[in-house]
Amino acid sequence: MATLSDVARRAGVSPATASRVINGSSKPVTDELRERVLAAVAELQYVPNAHAQLLARSHRSAVGVIVHDVSDPYFAEITRGLQRVATDQGRLLMICNSYRDPDRELEYVELLRGHQVAALILAGSGYHDDAFTRQLNEKLAAYEATGGRVAVIGRHEHSGDAVMPDNRTGGYLAGRELCGLGHRAIGVVAGPRILTTTTDRLAGLRQALAEQGHDLPERRIRYAEFDRDGGAEAAARLLDADPELTAIMALNDSMAIGALATLRARSLAVPHRVSVVGFDDMPIARDVTPALTTVRLPLVDMGVRAMSLVLGAPAPAPRVEVLPAELIRRDTAGPAPDARRDTAGSAPRARRGDTAL
């Protein structure tokens, strides 16, 4: 690889001058030298060594992001929001997938710190794991102590700036909807127990049921991976144990899609025999058939906010922005089969407009 001094030598100038030309320094350089340098750069196909630059320059510019999995639509949307703000400010993003492995998360914090990122954003559920939480907080504190900025999305265990989707209210809205439709035998297809997202959403759901005088026994909950196959599997276990279920609440949309696959395989009509409600409103939710009734989270906005927090002026006290959840009624949630008798003859709810195109 050609180096700066190769360029300087070829142009017959000092490395200092070459550097100034290449970086558009404010220090003036005569046109003749400038041209010679530029010509040398082109001839040698010179590209500055980014590591040497970052070492020599003092200011840090890149931002590190740790998500569970960018290819998961939930994180893809959040990342889109992060990216938008970062790009506007000319920041490079380093994105790392933890695949929900706490140890890997810790490692990535170190890695990104080592890469001298100006800020760090952790997105995705926290863990019910005190030892881990403590370690993470220590590492983040150490990072912040050296001037690094930190924000988290969707995890309350960190004491700094945070953007929090209102998971609990989301669960509540879904629960209220299902209760309102007359469902009593509601099964829950849940993500891993250890995730705070799981327990928060569950808590909201439980509260909604409690308000109607119902409870949510553990036997009506199945914990599995937070993805399509996990949802399919959990739904199957749920139905095996309790064939009379009239509704399934899936704690995210991927799981809901898996649950729909299970119901289809068992020829249980949705929503006539079993209703399904998802969570997150990922883009694909409107494209499955029937279109998925779900709880929308402003995912892109969550990313935008988090990046803005971290790139904006630091605050004296930690800021927490709670973003609202919203119920999106589509076609997978209908009246409970026995409740339907009361409203006999009423056709299943017409397809919602937002599913067309």
Partner DNA sequence: TACCGCAGAGAAAGCCCTTTCCCGCAGGGA
Partner DNA sequence: TCCCTGCGGGAAAGGGCTTTCTCTGCGGTA
- Residue 163 token pair: 């953007």
**Using rule CB under 7 A, residue 56 touches DNA:** yes
**Using rule CB under 8 A, residue 42 touches a second copy:** no
Task: Sort residue 253 into left (φ over 0), alpha (ψ -120 to 50) or beta.
Answer: alpha
* Among positions 9, 38, 48, 61, the unique one binding DNA when judged by CB under 7 A: 48
- Report the partner that residue 180 touches, choosing among DNA, a second copy, none (CB closer than 5 to 8 A by kind): none
Nearest partner of 117 among 48, 54, 23, 47, judged by Cα: 54
253-265 vs 73-88: helix crossing angle, rounded to 10:
150
- Report the partner that residue 262 touches, choosing among a second copy, DNA, none (CB closer than 5 to 8 A by kind): a second copy
End-to-end alpha carbon distance in the chain: 51
Nearest distance, CB of residue 261 and a second copy, angstroms:
6
**Using rule CB under 8 A, residue 15 touches a second copy:** no
Write the CA distances from 221 to 124, 162, 250, 256, integer angstroms: 22, 29, 10, 14
* Among positions 9, 38, 49, 329, the unique one binding DNA when judged by CB under 7 A: 49
- Residue 310 token pair: 């971290």
The answer for residues whose C-beta is within 8 angstroms of residue 146's C-beta and 6 or more apart is none
DSSP per-residue codes, 156-186? -SS-SEEEEE-HHHHHHHHHHHHHHTT--SE
Nearest distance, CB of residue 107 and DNA, angstroms:
17
Contacts of a second copy in 312-331 (CB under 8 A): none
Give 235's DSSP letter. H
- Report the partner that residue 113 touches, choosing among DNA, a second copy, none (CB closer than 5 to 8 A by kind): a second copy
Nearest distance, CB of residue 6 and a second copy, angstroms:
12
The interface mask with DNA, positions 9-28, x = CB under 7 A, is ---xxxxxx-xx-xx-x-xx
Contact 95, 79 (CB under 8 A): yes
> Which amino acid would we find at residue 111?
L
Say how many CA atoms lie within 13 Å of 210 toward its Cβ. Answer: 9
Nearest distance, CB of residue 158 and DNA, angstroms:
25
CA–CA distance, 276 with 250 (Å, rounded to integer): 7
**Using rule CB under 7 A, residue 44 touches DNA:** no
The interface mask with a second copy, positions 223-262, x = CB under 8 A, is -----xx--xx--x--------------------x--xxx
**Using rule CB under 7 A, residue 30 touches DNA:** yes
* Among positions 142, 210, 315, 322, the unique one binding a second copy when judged by CB under 8 A: 142
- When the beta carbons of 1 and 317 are compared against a second copy, the nearer one is 1
Contact 92, 50 (CB under 8 A): no
Given the structure tokens 């095996």, which residue do they identify? 240
**Using rule CB under 7 A, residue 89 touches DNA:** no
Contacts of a second copy in 185-224 (CB under 8 A): none
Q: Per this entry, what is the length of the chain?
A: 357
Residues that bind a second copy (CB under 8 A): 1, 45, 47-55, 70-71, 73, 76, 79-80, 94-95, 110-111, 113-116, 138-139, 142, 146, 228-229, 232-233, 236, 257, 260-262, 264-265, 283-284, 286-290, 355-357
